[in-house]
Amino acid sequence: VQLQASGGGLVQTGASLRLACAGSGRTFSSFAIGWFRQAPGKEREFVAAISRNPSGRTEYTDSVKGRFTISRDNVRNTAYLQMNSLKPEDTAIYYCAARAGVVFGVVGTDRAFYNYWGQGTLVTVSS
């Protein structure tokens, strides 16, 4: 599957952004999806994940709980990351990732879980 992330930009503290991850090439609904981010000089870290079905299991890193929401639309072959109350420490390149061949309800919080990656979209939050 090919993944295309979009929706990044430059915003002020407290603003919102919605990132999109469009998938193509294989049945999008068969993939678990994750969002990761990488700030300058730091390791790529887990942000959020969702299982194959839109109403299924989700996971978030503690720093974004209550502010970010991951969702997916398997008809549109797209996953989303709604980011509210953005903070300067959210500044990073955001990547979406996909894992094929998982059963319903499984999510991954580790980079090694995923075997497909998008190109990343830059989110910059100014103070």
Residue with tokens 């061949």: 101
Q: Which residues of 58-78 are buried (b: 16+ CB within 10 A; e: fewer)?
A: ebbbeebeeebbbbbebeebb
3-state secondary structure (DSSP) of residue 15: coil
3-state secondary structure (DSSP) of residue 66: coil
Cα-based torsion angle of the residue sequence 66, 22, 4, 84 in order, rounded to the nearest 10 degrees: -20
Residue 65, φ and ψ in degrees, nearest 5 = -60, 135
- For the chain, 127 residues long, give each residue's pLDDT as a single digit of tens: 899 999 999 999 999 999 999 998 778 889 999 999 999 999 999 999 999 987 789 999 999 999 999 999 999 999 999 999 999 999 999 999 999 988 888 999 999 999 999 999 999 999 9
| Beta-ladder partners of 50 | 33, 58
Ramachandran area for residue 29 (φ above 0: left; ψ -120 to 50: alpha; else beta)? alpha
Instruction: Determine the pLDDT at residue 46.
Output: 98
- 111 within 8 A of 36, measured Cβ to Cβ: yes
